[in-house]
Amino acid sequence: MVETVTWQPLDRDALAARLARDIPEGWSVNLGIGIPTLVGNFVPPEREVIFHSENGILGMGPAPAPDKVNRWLINASSQYVTLRPGASYMSHSDSFALVRGGHLDLCVLGAFQVAENGDLANWARSDDDNAPAIGGAMDLAAGAKRIWVVMEHNTRSGDARLLRRCTYPLTAKGCVTRVYTELAVIDVTPAGFAVIDMVPGLTIEALQERTDAPLALP
Amino acid sequence: MIDKSVRSVAEALAGIKDGATVLIAGFAQVGEPRALIDGLIEQGARDLTVVHNTAGRGREGVARLIGEGRVRKIVCSFARSRGSVIFEEVFARGGIELEILPQGTMAERMRAAAAGIPAFYTATAAGTKLAEGKESRVFNGREYILEHALPGDVALVEAWRADRWGNLVYRDAGRNFNPVMAAAATLTIVQTQHMAELGELPPEEIATPGIYVDRLVHVAAGDPPLKN
């Protein structure tokens, strides 16, 4: 039987906007590379959220106009950024002390895989990768109060990314608290994955077909 | 009179020995002591252990130091990354040893060295492949791994402004690894964009007190290269 598609996945911007909706005023937030970086574009400026960048910035603002670039002001993804009023600079050691000391309310990261126990794999697709790029992901995953992952629900070949156990090398154990995909928002609970939102028209059965680990409705 | 300034990059780098551990600051070319890196290539020390956020990008700077076969071991948080062509080539033929570290662990290991702390426990990387072979211990129900201090024989630093005592002020995100590396090395060498008179730098803006600095050279390097 051919499945009738009556639902529409979110595109990258809509996914970033969906996540941004859930960030309350007052939080201090670090955004990882990729779709996580887009999230900043969808937090309205009147909502006071303090963005952190690992290279020593608190209170980061959006990208500057091309003629207003300050070559000394980049974020951890090497992109030009601006400061919001109230911003401050710090050294790398202070910046990571802030991360590792649990002072960030939220870090949004991309991922290859997330397991139902909250394990995160986002730095290597194989145990044989002997010259990887880790950056600050392990510090952020272990240190922030909450880790929200934003990623595509499945790999390009259709494999599940929401698993019973990760098969790729771990970034941190049991750290992920919520996952946003183009299809659904899923909490990681002591009992496993719980679906708290789905795109209109999608059924839990269709979502489960695309997911390795069991999904519950809250 | 205390005066740490020297007349040339060559003078600033004199005496760096083969086998030295060299901490090289900067993040994505911002706050990177490029004239000192180029000077180190000229200076000729070999068999170096280099601590830097990346294994070099493009063909200049740290990448060139590696390409010229002068680095025995690189300690970094980004090994293979966009533009790390020279490292990958040298690594593939077994020409360089690699120690990969989470960026915060790297910074904290240098901070520990600067503060006289021989080792510390951290939750970062606990339960991952990077924890293999490291001591672990549970505190309050959570697993932590033991990481050791990472001191340098030499640190290469870039400041925005400096006075002759070696007090340093940084510009914008050019601070990054500079203060922690300046504090973690036996011989700290600074290139500064501007020299200031003693007493001119506002004390509350000095991010690196001169006590950590040994040699200072004025290099008006200008803005970091424009990224595309």
CATH superfamily of A12-42+103-216: Glutaconate Coenzyme A-transferase (3.40.1080.10)
Q: Note the pLDDT tens digit of each residue in A120-141.
A: 999 988 877 888 889 999 999 9
CATH number at residue B28: 3.40.1080.10
* Domain count of the fold of chain B: 1
Asked if A143 and B129 come within 8 Å (Cβ–Cβ), the reply is no
Helical spans, DSSP H, in chain B: 9-13, 34-43, 62-67, 85-92, 103-114, 178-184
List the one residue out of B143, B55, B60 whose CA is nearest residue B101.
Answer: B55
**Half-sphere exposure of residue A82, counting CA atoms within 13 Å on the CB side?**
14
Mean local confidence (pLDDT), A192-206:
97
B2 to chain A, closest Cα gap in Å: 27
For B29-84, the pLDDT digits (tens) are 999 999 999 999 999 999 999 999 999 999 999 999 999 999 999 999 999 888 89
Report the candidate in B172, B168, B224, B165 with the shortest Cα–Cα distance to residue B191.
Answer: B168
User: What is chain B's length?
Assistant: 228
Q: What is the ipTM of this complex?
A: 0.96
Q: Where are the domains of chain A?
A: 12-42+103-216
Q: State the pairing for strand pair B71-76/B48-51.
A: parallel
- CA of B75 to nearest chain A CA: how many angstroms apart? 11
How big is chain A by its Cα radius of gyration, in Å? 18
In this predicted structure, the answer to whether residue A3 has a pLDDT above a threshold of 80 is: no
A55: chain B residues, CB-CB within 8 Å: 27-28, 30, 173, 176
Does A89 contact B at CB distance below 8 Å? yes
Nearest to A142 by CA among B118, B216, B104: B104
- Domain-embedded: residue B228: no
Q: Which chain B residue is nearest to residue A137, measuring alpha carbons?
A: B102
Amino acid at B99: E
Smallest CA-to-CA distance from B119 within B105, B101, B133, B140 is with B105
**Amino acid letter, B61:** G
- Average pLDDT, integer, range A64-81: 95
Q: In this structure, which amino acid lies at residue A43?
A: V
Q: What is the DSSP annotation of A66-108?
A: GGG--TT-B-TTS-B-EEEEEEEE--HHHHHHHHHTT--SEEE
Three-state SS at A41 = helix
Tell me the three state secondary structure of residue A59. Answer: strand
CB atoms < 10 A from the CB of A156, how many? 6
The band of B228, judged by pLDDT with boundaries at 50, 70 and 90, is: low
Beta-carbon separation of B30 and A89 below 8 A = no
CA A77, distance to chain mean position in Å, is 14
pLDDT in tens, B149-199: 999 999 999 999 999 999 999 999 999 999 999 999 999 999 999 999 999
User: Is A54 designated active site?
Assistant: yes
The CA distances from residue A73 to A134, A204, B65, B172, B193, in Å, are 22, 45, 26, 6, 16
Task: Name the closest residue on chain A to residue B52, using Cα atoms.
Answer: A135
Q: Residue B178 domain-assigned?
A: yes
Structural domain of B171: 9-117+150-218
